[in-house]
Amino acid sequence: MRNLLWVIPVLPFLGALLNGFLLRHRIGKKAVAAIACGTVGIAAVLGLLIIFDYLGGPEHAAHQGFEQNLYEWMPAGPLATAADGVKSFTVPMGFLIDPLSAVMLFVVTFVGFWIHVYSVGYMAHDDGFQRFFTYLNLFMGAMLLLVLGNNYVVMFVGWEGVGLCSYLLIGFYYKEDFPPYAGRKAFITNRVGDFGFVLGLFALVSTFGTLRYTELFPRIAANPSLLTGPGHFGLTLAGFIAVCMFVGAMGKSAQIPLYVWLPDAMAGPTPVSALIHAATMVTAGVYMVVRSNVIYQLAPSISMFVAVIGCATAIFAATIGLVQTDIKKVLAYSTVSQLGYMFLAAGLGAYSAAVFHLMTHAFFKALLFLGSGSVIHAMGGEQDMRKMGGLKKHMPKTFWTFVLGSGALAGLPPLAGFFSKDEILHSAAAGGHWILYAVGLITAALTAFYTFRAVNMTFLGEFRGTHEQEHHLHESPPSMTVPLLVLAVGAVFAGFVGLPVEKWNAFHHFLEPVIYRIAGHGAEEHATSALFNLVLLGVAIVVAFGFTFLAFRLYGAARGLSTDVAMERRFPAAHRVLANKYYVDELYDKTVIGGAWALARTLFRFDAGFIDGLLVNGTRNATVSFAMLSGFFDKYVVDGLVNLVATVLDGFSRVFRRLQTGYVSNYALVLAVGMFALVAVYMLIYRG
């Protein structure tokens, strides 16, 4: 069974091939949907089967992963001997099943499948139905490559592939102006990050000559000194590699400073936001950091950097989310914020906490996005919450699933988010990083607040839209509500695999084999007392419920939008800053983008003016000069030769003309002389 591992990523690619090329414009929507959802569904089932097969197998028992290499993709031959004496660099096309990739596989295929189903309903009236599912399947294939690859190169292929699909799907409504721009913004920002990622890979190759996880990580663990020596730019080698790869994660997972693309990515269809920008693609950075944990453990300063960035991003995004009026934007900033939590955890060495939060976040954030999609669908495309309100009675299924998702996001027990978020805060507190803990706690408060602000504005109170919109309000079809229900189940129950008590934290134990513990490095598990844990738990619960309640108070039924209006009046400057997202986009525009455009313009001027001038004028001058030379040559040399011939002939003829005098006497004399000469020659030579 496990030998069919390679089939899992291939299936969605097959779906994309069929829908995108072979059967393009040839089959009806039902068939398209069947192919798209079918491939992902089968991949999901197959994934589960393979996971169980692996779990019962010998590799898992030995704390190893199961590898399947299809072929040697880049047999580049022996490089110089690596620092620890191993030669040869090859990159296989291969896949790996181990606890970490199993978790990712499950999340990606499960959530992906239900989002596919949801899209059938959501995109039912769109002309680009087949195109959408082609791209979606393509994305699934790339994402599966990313998480299942057994080496960094395959991961990178998937990394780039999901970036491409993100661009394709954000810009799905290409006929409008903004979506293509947003797609470009996403892709280019990603590429900036990818540059760093690739640098890190190069450094790894030059040091170890391999990029396969099962070869690389054990060797690093065995020779940590290879990476703790000096690297570049004042960092250790490990630090350099870690920061380079983290730059890639910054881009892909929307951390400061490369997060700016994610809010604009909401221009894409809502299922895209759910799948790519909540559940899967953006989590690729977290996956990568966790996968590379052995490197990060050898670079403690960079790990701390990762944690700080994550924490800063978390609170930064949360503050922006407070004043957003577009329902999807609220969720987008929320995603950035939650990703920050994951990196906070990863940076502190709590890798399993990060992955745990990744998993729970995938469920409830996908749920929230799909729910918002349902709302938007009912509102006929309206996304502004100020025009919503009181939708609860019109779409109860959507409402209740949305509430469950919001509760999970806010960290209300016993929903899933509570457990994962608490574990992260606990690891911060347990490690003595009180500032990080405090910021994280504040962020949690803000999260709860803005989440239920959104809930109230959307579903409760009076309807604030137009009459046509009110008439149009309806619950979504089953193709959309069933996935909501399924994901809601996940949002509720997924937390129970990671209970806060150590010996009951199944998730943590599950991921143990993937986390390297290098003696003398890395975050040791801090043992904390039960009291400590309980206090933390209590604080978390109080904060979460408290701010949720506050949100209800300020935005509840009667209040409506009045709080927003009042806040704006009382804190106009602060409001303006937040509403304009701290003017970060404007800053980038002026500096980076402006610089790039200026450079482009200069180069253009150089090209058009100098190069063209040089080439064009130069060619012209050269040709003209050559033509002139040619002309001269022809006129003086060639014609001169002709004239010379004529002159010579003329000279000769002048001489010879004198032979023909007409005088007989002349002829007679010449005759006599000639005869005389002949005889003389004869006589003198032959002597008579």
Partner 1 sequence: MTFLTAHGSDLLFYLFAALTIAGGIGVVTMRNPMYGAISLLLSFLSVAALFLLRSAEFLGMVQIFVYGGGIMVLFLFVIMLVNLHRLPEIKLFGGQSPLAAVVAVLLLAFFGYFLIKFQFGPALVRPEAFVLADGQSLGNSQAVAWNLYTQNLLPFEIASVFLLIAMVGAVVLGRKQ
Partner 2 sequence: MFEVTTTHYLVVSFLLFTIGIFGIAARKNMITVLMSIELVLNSVNINLIAFSYQLSDLTGQIFAIFTITVAAGEAAVGLGILIALFRLRETTMLDGAVELKG
Residues that bind partner 1 (CB under 8 A): 663, 665-666, 669, 672-673, 676, 680, 683, 688
State the angle between helix axes of 129-148 and 152-170 in degrees (0 to 180), rounded to the nearest 10. Answer: 160
How many Å apart are CA 444 and CA 437, to the nearest integer? Answer: 10
Cα separations (Å) of 520 from 2, 45, 349, 379, 398?
37, 42, 14, 58, 51
Q: Tokens standing for 341?
A: 């939590």
Q: How far is the CB of 659 from partner 1 (least distance, A)?
A: 13
Q: How far is the CB of 669 from partner 1 (least distance, A)?
A: 6
How many Å apart are CA 531 and CA 538, to the nearest integer? Answer: 10
Looking at the DSSP bridge assignments, the partners of residue 151 are 212
Q: Tokens standing for 211?
A: 């990029």
**Candidate ranges 130-138, 221-229, 261-269, 658-666; the one touching partner 2 (CB under 8 A):** 658-666
Q: Which is nearer to partner 1, 233 or 663 (CB)?
A: 663
**Candidate ranges 18-26, 580-588, 639-647, 666-674; the one touching partner 2 (CB under 8 A):** 666-674
Q: Which is nearer to partner 1, 642 or 672 (CB)?
A: 672
How many Å apart are CA 72 and CA 89, to the nearest integer? Answer: 11
Q: Is 661 in the site for partner 2 (CB under 8 A)?
A: yes
Q: How far is the CB of 638 from partner 1 (least distance, A)?
A: 44
* In the block, residue with structure tokens 């491409």: 164
Q: Is 678 in the site for partner 2 (CB under 8 A)?
A: no
Q: How far is the CB of 638 from partner 2 (least distance, A)?
A: 40
Q: Is 672 in the site for partner 2 (CB under 8 A)?
A: yes
Question: How far is C-alpha 2 from the chain's CA centre?
Answer: 29
Question: How far is C-alpha 448 from the chain's CA centre?
Answer: 28
Cα separations (Å) of 662 from 141, 257, 657, 659?
110, 112, 11, 9
Q: Is 668 in the site for partner 2 (CB under 8 A)?
A: yes
How many Å apart are CA 600 and CA 607, to the nearest integer? Answer: 10
CB atoms within 10 A of CB 38: 15
Q: Which does 664 bind (CB under 5 to 8 A by kind): partner 1, partner 2, none?
A: partner 2
Q: How far is the CB of 669 from partner 2 (least distance, A)?
A: 4
Q: Is 669 in the site for partner 2 (CB under 8 A)?
A: yes
Closest CA to 492 of 398, 399, 416: 416
How many Å apart are CA 196 and CA 178, to the nearest integer? Answer: 28
Q: Which is nearer to partner 1, 77 or 688 (CB)?
A: 688
How many Å apart are CA 680 and CA 688, to the nearest integer? Answer: 10
Q: How far is the CB of 653 from partner 2 (least distance, A)?
A: 19
Q: Is 580 in the site for partner 2 (CB under 8 A)?
A: no
Interface with partner 2 (CB under 8 A), residue from 234, 381, 662, 688: 662
Q: How far is the CB of 665 from partner 2 (least distance, A)?
A: 5
Q: Is 665 in the site for partner 2 (CB under 8 A)?
A: yes
Q: Which does 680 bind (CB under 5 to 8 A by kind): partner 1, partner 2, none?
A: partner 1
Residue 474, φ and ψ in degrees, nearest 5: -155, 160
Q: Which does 683 bind (CB under 5 to 8 A by kind): partner 1, partner 2, none?
A: partner 1
**Candidate ranges 115-123, 136-144, 485-493, 664-672; the one touching partner 2 (CB under 8 A):** 664-672
- Asked, as a colleague might, if the bond just before 257 is cis with ω within 30 of 0, I would say yes
Q: Which is nearer to partner 1, 570 or 657 (CB)?
A: 657
Q: Which is nearer to partner 2, 619 or 661 (CB)?
A: 661
Q: Which is nearer to partner 1, 45 or 675 (CB)?
A: 675
Q: Which does 662 bind (CB under 5 to 8 A by kind): partner 1, partner 2, none?
A: partner 2
How many Å apart are CA 260 and CA 336, to the nearest integer? Answer: 10
Q: Please give the size of the binding site for partner 2, defined by CB under 8 A.
A: 8
The count of C-alpha atoms lying within 13 angstroms of the C-alpha of 519, restricted to the half-sphere facing its C-beta, is 2
CB contact set of 335 (below 8 Å; sequence gap of 6+)? 254, 262, 277, 278, 282, 361, 365
Q: Which does 688 bind (CB under 5 to 8 A by kind): partner 1, partner 2, none?
A: partner 1
Interface with partner 2 (CB under 8 A), residue from 71, 656, 663, 686: 663
State the angle between helix axes of 129-148 and 99-122 in degrees (0 to 180), rounded to the nearest 10. Answer: 170
Q: Which residues bind partner 2 (CB under 8 A)?
A: 661-665, 668-669, 672
